[in-house]
Every structure is written in structure tokens, then in C-alpha cells.
Chain A
């Protein structure tokens, strides 16, 4: 089944404790992206990747890191989480972003930073 998977689905952590949220897709997509969803703000892009080893900042990259060493995986790293990073996170992928291809979303990771 074609899908985007994220782990963990739920995470409670404390300020400053490094964490990684994994994202994997099995559709051989070139483009991958991370979003955060906050009430009243919709989805805002954190980072995106056009292909392996090519990543770039989105609208709200502060406090986050990403890497794209393999085509299928695009982990999101919070090196020193803070309470304002409490949010719902989504990973998405598409064939590319150039011709209006549909983005497919993972199920989301709900993060609470205490």
C-alpha cells in the first residue's frame, strides 16, 4: 500500500531533550516536506527536500533540523525542544513539486513539550 508513515504518533517530552520524528514513504517520491499544524494558523511548512541531500527552509524552520540521506526517509530533529514546539506535525511527499503533483500526508505526530 502506498503510504507515508510517521513515528511516533504521540510524544511527550521535556524541554531540552533531543528528539527525532521519523518519516518514510514507499512511493519513490522526490519531494518531501514537514509541516506543523496549530489552531488558527493552518499548516506551516518547516523544511522541505527536493531530492536526496537537497533540503531547504520553509516558513518556520527555527529550532528544527532535517536530513535526507535516502530517498524514502526524511527525519525531523528537534535538538533542544521548547514548549512553543508543542504542535501537530505532518510529513508529506509528492513525485515533485513542479507540476502540481498531489502531496500525500502521513498520519501526524502529536508532540507535547513540557
Chain B
């Protein structure tokens, strides 16, 4: 079965500092990995995904994520946080080998708070 863990319910960072939102996954084969962001009273918006190839994936709004197969991680990063980055972030996984039941499995979400 595929699963994903976001170990931090909340991450606080000062504006201008780098941010990291952690995600680890478990699959039988190789993963498709996604990050989504949810702003208050909005639906989920796609940020970036890893399918294959370069382990460093660049996405929207200056975010990037690094796929690390040995550590089964896909942490979301940004070099310089903005107050407007404050939102709820979800990591999601799908197992390529098993098909993952034809679905994505989402983590529980990490609330990012960027303060002045």
C-alpha cells in the first residue's frame, strides 16, 4: 500500500528565511510525487511533481522539491519565504508499480506560517 507522511503539523519561518516542508513516502515500486498548496477558502493548487528524471524539481512561485530515493523523501523548499506563502501544504504519492489503487494518497497537511 502507498502512504505518505508529513511529520510537522505546522512550520513557522520568518520572511526572507529559507523554508522546508517535509514529506516522506512509502511505496512498493517507484513513486509519482506531488505537492499541492491550499490557501484559505480555496481549493488545492498544484505546485510541482516528480515523475522521473532530475531529482530536483522546480515548480510554481519559486518552490522546489528534491526527490531522495534512499531516504524516501520529497521535501518542499523555497530559498526565501514570503508572508504570502502562508498556507496549508499537502504532499501526495502514487505507486507506479501497483497503480496505487488508481488514486493519489495525500498526507495530513502542513500549515506554513511566514511571519514578518
Which A residues form the contact surface with B (CB < 8 A)? 4, 31, 33, 35, 40-45, 48, 50, 56, 58, 90, 92, 97-100, 102-108
Contacts and interface: CB of A to CB of B under 8 A. Distances in A.
A63 B36 CA distance: 27
A56 B100 CA distance: 13
Q: Is the interface of A mostly helix, strand, loop or mixed?
A: strand
Interface of B: 9, 32, 34, 36, 41-46, 49, 51, 90, 94, 96, 99, 102-104, 106-109
Given A41-B108, A42-B107, A100 B32 contact: yes
Contacts, number: 54
Given A100-B32, A100-B51, A102-B34, A58 B103 contact: yes
B47 to A, nearest CB: 10
20 contacts: A4-B43, A40-B9, A41-B108, A42-B109, A45-B103, A48-B103, A56-B102, A58-B103, A97-B103, A98-B99, A100-B32, A100-B49, A100-B51, A102-B46, A102-B49, A103-B46, A105-B36, A105-B44, A107-B43, A108-B43
